[in-house]
Amino acid sequence: HPKSVIGVGASSLAEICFLQAQDKVVGVEAAEKQDIPRCVYRHVFHDKFANLPVIGEGGKNGVTPNEEAISDLAPDVIFATIDKEKADILQQRTGVPVVCITVQEQVFSDSFYKDIELMGKVLNKDKRATEIIDYTKKMEADLTSRVKNVTPKSAYAAGISYRGGHGFAGTEAGFFPFAILKLKNIADVNDKTGPYNIDLEKVSADQPDCIFIESNNFKMVEKDIQQNPDYFKNLKAVQNKQVFSLVPNRYYALNIELAIANCYQVGHC
């Protein structure tokens, strides 16, 4: 039963916190010291993490564990979202067992459930792991049941953050809240995957029933509106007052609790 742990790479510290093992954390990446509200675990436990030793950079500076700092802290286990080769090297050089987990970019995924189950076993948090998995699956079932007999509508997600903020053209193919609620995502075209900038003529041509805008990029979208007000006035969703906000849910990978909240928000369409 580990008494001290660290997380290396995106998703690792978040999942440690999900399992209510934050008191076992003895060091954090420099990026994890920033109080970012859309990184809920950082915001909640900022006072604790801000005073812990740094064990690497993390965030936009990349996953670069400081082997000497980790060795000095001598944690009982490292949870890391790195590949097996890097994990073997880190384990050899620090003498600390490394458990590889996955960077989470989807909600209701088998990889998330497997990671939580594995980490629960390692941390002696099996009961908590079961609670997380059961509750998450319950929410997925609830969302699915709500759209069982609903006629699908079309939707567009704007101002989606990826490697920084984006305006109205910033969108995402395969946007999971739309997928789970069976909305037709107008950004799902050809071989597009993940975030990208769409041709705005595509949006006006498709005239989505609903538009959702990520709230932390409102100012960038407002600038777009000021530059081309007629374009936005002619969008059906604007005319019908079917424009809604989204909680920003991606920062150092997907923040799953906020992503689930967005699924319920998308249900307004």
Beta strands in the chain (DSSP E): 5-8, 25-27, 77-80, 98-100, 154-158, 170-173, 184-185, 194-197, 210-214, 243-246
**221 and 251 share a domain?**
yes
As given in the structure block, the two tokens for residue 129 are: 């792991």
Question: In the prediction, which pLDDT does 107 show?
Answer: 87
**96 and 209 share a domain?**
no
DSSP 61: G
Tell which of 142, 167, 188 closes a domain: 142
Domain that residue 74 falls in: 5-142
DSSP-derived 3-state class of residue 175: coil
CATH number at 104 reads: 3.40.50.1980
**174 and 76 share a domain?**
no
As given in the structure block, the two tokens for residue 220 are: 């960038």
Q: What's the structural domain count of the chain? A: 2
- Whether residue 148 lies inside any domain: the answer is no
Sign of CA pseudo-dihedral 121, 9, 253, 45: positive
Going by C-alpha positions, the residue among 75, 47, 48, 64 that lies closest to residue 9 is 64
- Whether residue 147 lies inside any domain: the answer is no
- Taking the alpha carbons at both ends of the chain, their separation in whole angstroms is 47
Question: In the prediction, which pLDDT does 212 show?
Answer: 98
Question: In the prediction, which pLDDT does 249 show?
Answer: 87
List average pLDDT for each run of 10 residues in the chain, which is 269 residues long: 96 97 98 92 96 92 90 98 95 97 90 97 98 97 92 95 90 93 94 91 98 96 97 98 93 91 93
> pTM above the 0.85 mark?
yes
Tell which of 113, 142, 171 closes a domain: 142
